[in-house]
A and B are shown apart, each in its own frame.
Chain A
Amino acid sequence: MDILKLTAVELAARIKAKEVTVLEAVEAVLGQIEKKEEELHCYVTVDREGAIKRAGEVQKAIDEGALTGPLAGVPVAVKDNMCTKNMLTTCSSKILNNFIPAFSAEAVIRLEEAGAVILGKTNMDEFAMGSTTETSAYGVTKNPWNIEHVPGGSSGGSAAAVAAEECFFALGSDTGGSIRQPASFCGVVGMKPTYGTVSRYGLIAYGSSLDQIGPLTKDVTDCAAILEVISSHDTKDSTSVERKDTDFTKALVDDVAGMKIGIPRDYFSSGIEPEVKEAVLAAANLLKEKGAIVEEFDLSLVEYAIPAYYTIAAAEASSNLERFDGVKYGYRTKESEGLHDMYKKTRSEGFGEEVKRRIMLGSFVLSSGYYDAYYLKALKVKALIKKAFDEAFEKYDVILGPVAPATAPKLGSSLADPIKMYLGDIYTISVNLAGLPGISIPCGMDKAGLPIGLQLIGNSFQEKKLIQTAYAYEQARGAFVKKEGN
């Protein structure tokens, strides 16, 4: 048995059955990290000693019958924008190069309570701003399917780590597609839940009204099991929602008969690569063959999502990132004259180009005289987009489309043209603007052998419909195997 080939749920079952020990699982995955990290660089921090120590504790709790859940003993990687107590948390930024949080994010605590073993922190675009993981201050992460390509972003380290078997599953965060797009580029499953489902407490904010934590996994079953564990009503997060329907694994049913699936015509009209279009429509066909009712419809306002998103996310980010000032923690410039010079130098030296670009953009749209014209208008667009989805969900259970217009671009080809990079978010960001759940599952490969992702979007709090549809699709699709040599 190759432990690394197991899914998270399979591994936990083996551990429970005493066929595998937690330590064996941890050592297997640490061995894989050893083997792959130099090439891929999925992690900013790997906590070998901590993971091995924790493996013993978890094993003991399992043996004593104190831990019985579906994730007990499973090694996990956490995106580096989630606080982990006593473990470096950098957001892949120089400005947090020495930041060790005093508390863990609520989602991380949920995982720990379920018996997961944290391996370390995954690389990402700096402060989750980017679509390639190339804006990290700690080097790029490479796509395990082809190391000349990016893994996507901003949760690129998490997606690549799952794809490269450097962990059994990972947590990511999704503000405009940052879980779904790298999942798509790396051939893994990634889900952004309905806004408010997973506590944001301890997630270092980028765009607070859009950010959601979610799982990146090997399959849909893992995705449901992990979401079940990390979702919670957290009174420490005012935007957390109390839900009673978080038994997501109940939705792992291979049946889409009568499921109404809508395909937005606008998603396929222009800018999409033919291979992506073909693969996504083939997936829709497969669901149709299984009894789903699939039809095309017009989802309006698609072209307004990108400007609205970059206005709102940048505005929130410009304020959220103000606290990184060199006063209390993190990087501080070596020499400065007075307070304001210290602020200026610390932030100029500590933040990367893309972060600065968004801080400036956000500061501009909130400036007096521009607030109404940009920020308020973007909020109005956001409300209209939500309305357009509401109308669509009166007719459909699930909306089906691509995750990204193309497969993973080559390393170094994206940052030179940020506008083009932003346009790549077209299919994912409206889901964040509307606060909806979305899942990405692999549905094919292009000629170069790079994965293509299928996106399913659900109405608010309808994750179960997404999981059911994705699961049924996954069953029909069969194993999604990497090319030889990986």
Chain B
Amino acid sequence: MAKEYETVIGLEVHVELATKTKIFCGCSTAFGGAPNTHTCPVCTGMPGSLPVLNKQVVEYAIAVGLATNCSITQYCKFDRKNYFYPDNPQNYQISQLYLPICRNGSVEIETEEGKKQVGIHEIHMEEDAGKLIHDEWEDCSLVDYNRSGVPLIEIVSEPDMRSAEEVIAYLEKLRLIIQYLGASDCKLQEGSMRADVNLSVREKGAKEFGTRTEMKNLNSFKAIARAIEGERTRQIELLEEGKPVIQETRRWDDGKEYSYAMRSKEDAQDYRYFPDPDLVPVQISDEWLAEIRERQPEFRTEKMKRYKEEYGIPEYDIEIITNSKHLADLFEATVAICRQPKKVSNWLMVETMRLLKEQDMEPEDIRFSPENLAKLIALTDSRAINSTVAKEVFEVMFDKDMDPEAYVEEKGLKTVNDEGALRKTVEEIVAANPQSVEDYHNGKQKAIGFLVGQTMKVMQGKADPAMVNKLLKEMLEG
């Protein structure tokens, strides 16, 4: 009988914090500058330069720790991790080993199997490295230190996950918590959230863990799920063939759906960690901790509860809207202006979601402002534009975030509410379509729809359909 295997997974998640400046110098963390333009002697490791800790990094790390039920290390230190590589300008990375800022936390995840706690071993602060670019033509390597010194937190989970579903649920949960805190935008594609997967398999019921491998280069949830499946299969095959799993770091190739060994434990380096003497220990007072606790935002569970009570929108809508901090913020800000939760929710749930999907965007990428959405809702409420025009205006607004009032005015999209003018058009339409008039009188109610459509066409969509309907009925019945 075939053996049954259990997958044991732990995650190391790196999150780039949303500070304006780097962790140890005043350089910008902005993404996408020309190479080596966001640099200074500190983040390029020039002789004589010294690091100075960015307080905001500590605050974000504490905030994430509190939100994931960690205990905060009130006396914590930075350590140097020594290894030679050109993306690392000092040849040591400033990180935390001995006294990480957060320890012993957990988050609750929910999958089809039910609810479950995933333990967090620790969260530590560290600096990001630069980026190496291998120039094949010139046969040389170039390095860009713009990323060097960008603050990261590394969230190390316990080996508590058993499936790709649980891993995805855990990552979604972390992402949401961190986005709610405003500590990072957590974009896997752009690398502001990165996950390394530690995976081992063991026979179901076994007490001991199997030998684990660590997989890197996972830059989407789909890739993570595929990598877990692929690595699980690879390890089971090895065990079935009686071969050992080697403890090593592997690189996932999502195109080939296979992982490749990068380095084994035997060539693992001794990082010679020791406390960085250039930095003083971080002392986190009870007062500081209390201040950060005080500032913690409303998280999703509380928000969902409040939405139900305060806005009375459907639970399904609440589920979707609160699944993105940006969407929830947009919703609340728009409702605060127009006081019409259901209508705001509709715009977000239907048109916004459709366009996001069409354009392969995340809710975080939404550009339009709550002010403009509120204006659009006001335009439809006052019947200044009809719903078809509103959808068209919205599409433009989704792309450009322009003022819908000004746009409607400029493009002459306002609904014609002038009964006299409309009546004239309707009369012409009725006169031009005797067949439809006859059909209507013969009981074909649908014929009126055709006449409405014809009128709207002539009016270039700017007529109030209800008024057109009313006028047509008057004319046909009369």
Query: In whole angstroms, how far apart are the Cα atoms of A245 and B145 in the complex?
Result: 40
CB distance from A459 to the nearest CB of B (A): 20
CB distance from A342 to the nearest CB of B (A): 10
Inter-chain CB contacts under 8 Å: number: 92
CB distance from A407 to the nearest CB of B (A): 33
Q: Kindly list chain A residues whose C-beta atoms are within 8 Å of the C-beta of B45.
A: 323, 328
Contact with B48, one of A201, A238, A325, A375 (Cβ below 8 angstroms): A201
A366–B272 touching, CB < 8 Å: yes
Q: Kindly state whether residue B437 has any CB partner on chain A within 8 Å.
A: no
Q: Kindly state whether residue B84 has any CB partner on chain A within 8 Å.
A: yes
CB distance from A379 to the nearest CB of B (A): 9
A328–B44 touching, CB < 8 Å: yes
Q: Kindly state whether residue B49 has any CB partner on chain A within 8 Å.
A: yes
Q: Kindly list chain A residues whose C-beta atoms are within 8 Å of the C-beta of B274.
A: 315-316, 319, 366, 371, 375
B80–A239 touching, CB < 8 Å: no
Q: Which of A81-115 contact B (CB under 8 A)?
A: 82-83, 89, 91, 96, 99, 101-103, 105
Query: In whole angstroms, how far apart are the Cα atoms of A458 and B108 in the complex?
Result: 57
Q: Kindly list chain B residues whose C-beta atoms are within 8 Å of the C-beta of A99.
A: 47
A328–B89 touching, CB < 8 Å: yes
CB distance from B93 to the nearest CB of A (A): 11
Listed stretches B50-58, B111-119, B345-353, B439-447; interface member: B50-58
Question: Which of B45, B51, B272, B273 has the largest count of A CB atoms less than 10 A from its CB?
Answer: B272
B47–A101 touching, CB < 8 Å: yes
Q: How does the 8 Å CB contact mask read for B33-63 relative to A, with 1 for contact and 0 for none?
A: 0000000010011111111110000000000
Contact with A101, one of B46, B80, B143 (Cβ below 8 angstroms): B46
B82–A200 touching, CB < 8 Å: no
Closest to B278 in A: A208
Contact with B91, one of A239, A322, A363 (Cβ below 8 angstroms): A322
Q: Kindly list chain A residues whose C-beta atoms are within 8 Å of the C-beta of B48.
A: 82-83, 101, 103, 105, 201-205
Q: Which of A183-239 contact B (CB under 8 A)?
A: 200-205, 207-209, 235-239
CB distance from B72 to the nearest CB of A (A): 21
Q: Kindly list chain A residues whose C-beta atoms are within 8 Å of the C-beta of B292.
A: none
Q: Kindly list chain A residues whose C-beta atoms are within 8 Å of the C-beta of B47.
A: 83, 89, 91, 96, 99, 101, 204, 323-324
CB distance from A360 to the nearest CB of B (A): 12
A209–B277 touching, CB < 8 Å: yes
Query: In whole angstroms, how far apart are the Cα atoms of A149 and B44 in the complex?
Result: 41
Q: Kindly state whether residue B475 has any CB partner on chain A within 8 Å.
A: no
A200–B50 touching, CB < 8 Å: yes
Q: Kindly state whether residue B270 has any CB partner on chain A within 8 Å.
A: yes
Q: Kindly state whether residue B168 has any CB partner on chain A within 8 Å.
A: no
Q: Kindly list chain A residues whose C-beta atoms are within 8 Å of the C-beta of B272.
A: 318-319, 363, 366-368, 371
Contact with A238, one of B84, B86, B278 (Cβ below 8 angstroms): B278
Q: Kindly state whether residue A268 has any CB partner on chain B within 8 Å.
A: no
Q: Kindly list chain B residues whose C-beta atoms are within 8 Å of the C-beta of A207.
A: 277
Q: Kindly state whether residue B280 has any CB partner on chain A within 8 Å.
A: yes
Query: In whole angstroms, how far apart are the Cα atoms of A270 and B443 in the complex?
Result: 124
CB distance from B49 to the nearest CB of A (A): 7
CB distance from A98 to the nearest CB of B (A): 13
Q: Which of B381-415 contact A (CB under 8 A)?
A: none
Q: Kindly list chain B residues whose C-beta atoms are within 8 Å of the C-beta of A304.
A: none
Closest to A96 in B: B47
Q: Kindly list chain A residues whose C-beta atoms are within 8 Å of the C-beta of B52.
A: 235-238
Number of interface residues of A (CB under 8 A): 44
B277–A208 touching, CB < 8 Å: yes
A323–B50 touching, CB < 8 Å: no
Query: In whole angstroms, how far apart are the Cα atoms of A177 and B332 in the complex?
Result: 65
Q: Kindly state whether residue A339 has any CB partner on chain B within 8 Å.
A: yes
Q: Kindly state whether residue A327 has any CB partner on chain B within 8 Å.
A: yes
Q: How does the 8 Å CB contact mask read for B251-276 relative to A, with 1 for contact and 0 for none?
A: 00000000000000000001011100
Number of interface residues of B (CB under 8 A): 28
Q: Which of A357-398 contact B (CB under 8 A)?
A: 363, 366-368, 371, 375
Query: In whole angstroms, how far apart are the Cα atoms of A200 and B49 in the complex?
Result: 9
Q: Kindly state whether residue B92 has any CB partner on chain A within 8 Å.
A: yes
CB distance from B310 to the nearest CB of A (A): 46
B92–A238 touching, CB < 8 Å: no
Q: Kindly list chain B residues whose C-beta atoms are within 8 Å of the C-beta of A480.
A: none
Q: Kindly list chain B residues whose C-beta atoms are within 8 Å of the C-beta of A319.
A: 80, 82, 92, 272, 274
Q: Which of B217-265 contact A (CB under 8 A)?
A: none
Query: In whole angstroms, how far apart are the Cα atoms of A369 and B52 in the complex?
Result: 30
Q: Kindly list chain B residues whose C-beta atoms are within 8 Å of the C-beta of A422.
A: none
Q: Kindly state whether residue B90 has any CB partner on chain A within 8 Å.
A: yes
CB distance from A158 to the nearest CB of B (A): 17
Q: Kindly state whether residue B355 has any CB partner on chain A within 8 Å.
A: no
Q: How does the 8 Å CB contact mask read for B279-303 relative to A, with 1 for contact and 0 for none?
A: 1100000000000000000000000
Q: Kindly state whether residue A297 has any CB partner on chain B within 8 Å.
A: no
A316–B270 touching, CB < 8 Å: no
Closest to B272 in A: A366
Q: Which of B105-151 contact A (CB under 8 A)?
A: 143
Q: Kindly state whether residue A343 has any CB partner on chain B within 8 Å.
A: yes
B91–A238 touching, CB < 8 Å: no
B41–A323 touching, CB < 8 Å: no
Q: Kindly list chain B residues whose C-beta atoms are within 8 Å of the C-beta of A96.
A: 47
Q: Kindly list chain B residues whose C-beta atoms are within 8 Å of the C-beta of A327.
A: 86, 143
Q: Kindly list chain B residues whose C-beta atoms are within 8 Å of the C-beta of A238.
A: 50-53, 278-280
Q: Which of B1-59 contact A (CB under 8 A)?
A: 41, 44-53
Question: Which of B89, B273, B274 has the largest count of A CB atoms less than 10 A from its CB?
Answer: B274
CB distance from A87 to the nearest CB of B (A): 13
Query: In whole angstroms, how far apart are the Cα atoms of A371 and B50 in the complex?
Result: 24
Q: Which of B338-375 contact A (CB under 8 A)?
A: none
Q: Kindly list chain B residues whose C-beta atoms are within 8 Å of the C-beta of A83.
A: 47-48
Question: Which of B47, B51, B92 has the largest count of A CB atoms less than 10 A from its CB?
Answer: B47
Q: Kindly list chain A residues whose C-beta atoms are within 8 Å of the C-beta of B50.
A: 200-201, 236-238
Q: Kindly list chain B residues whose C-beta atoms are within 8 Å of the C-beta of A339.
A: 86
Q: Kindly list chain A residues whose C-beta atoms are within 8 Å of the C-beta of B280.
A: 238-239
Q: Which of A110-134 contact B (CB under 8 A)?
A: none
Closest to A209 in B: B277
Closest to B80 in A: A319
Question: Which of B51, B91, B273 has the largest count of A CB atoms less than 10 A from its CB?
Answer: B91
Q: Which of A314-341 contact B (CB under 8 A)?
A: 315-316, 318-319, 322-325, 327-329, 339-340
Can you identify 30 A-B contacts, CB atoms within 8 angstroms? Answer: A82-B48, A83-B48, A91-B47, A102-B41, A102-B46, A103-B41, A103-B46, A202-B49, A203-B48, A209-B277, A235-B52, A236-B52, A238-B50, A239-B277, A239-B280, A315-B274, A318-B82, A319-B272, A319-B274, A322-B91, A323-B90, A325-B84, A325-B91, A328-B89, A340-B84, A363-B272, A366-B82, A367-B272, A371-B273, A375-B274
Residues of A participating in the B interface, judged by any CB pair closer than 8 Å: 82-83, 89, 91, 96, 99, 101-103, 105, 200-205, 207-209, 235-239, 315-316, 318-319, 322-325, 327-329, 339-340, 343, 363, 366-368, 371, 375
Residues of B participating in the A interface, judged by any CB pair closer than 8 Å: 41, 44-53, 80, 82, 84, 86, 89-92, 143, 270, 272-274, 277-280
Known: A238-B51, A322-B92, A325-B84. 18 other contacts (CB 8 A): A82-B48, A96-B47, A101-B48, A103-B48, A200-B50, A202-B48, A207-B277, A237-B50, A238-B278, A238-B279, A239-B277, A315-B274, A318-B82, A323-B47, A323-B91, A327-B143, A343-B84, A366-B272
